[in-house]
Amino acid sequence: MFICGSDTTAKTTVAHLAEELGFDVVDAGPLVNARLLEPLAMLWINLAYQQRMGTNIAIKLLRR
């Protein structure tokens, strides 16, 4: 789960909640970076609905 925000305390809280739900949290930086995550969400929506892949798909960050 990509998260971003400028409030460190709030971001820590959100990260803990996401981890409790089973997500691997990736800190995408300050709130200004939310504009970088929005096109990623639009891609997911396009793949799920326009490309008919369904909603049971996800985008994953791979690390070496």
> What is the pLDDT, as a whole number, of residue 64?
93
**DSSP reduced 3-state for 57:** coil
Residue position matching structure tokens 């793949």: 47
Supply the pTM of this predicted model.
Answer: 0.81
Residues near 53 by beta carbon (within 8 Å), at least 6 away in sequence: 47
pLDDT of residue 28: 97
Residues, the chain, total? 64
Q: What is the pLDDT of residue 3?
A: 97
pLDDT tens per residue, range 9-60:
999 999 999 999 999 999 999 999 999 999 999 999 999 999 999 999 999 8
> Residue 19: which H helix or E strand, with range?
helix 8-20
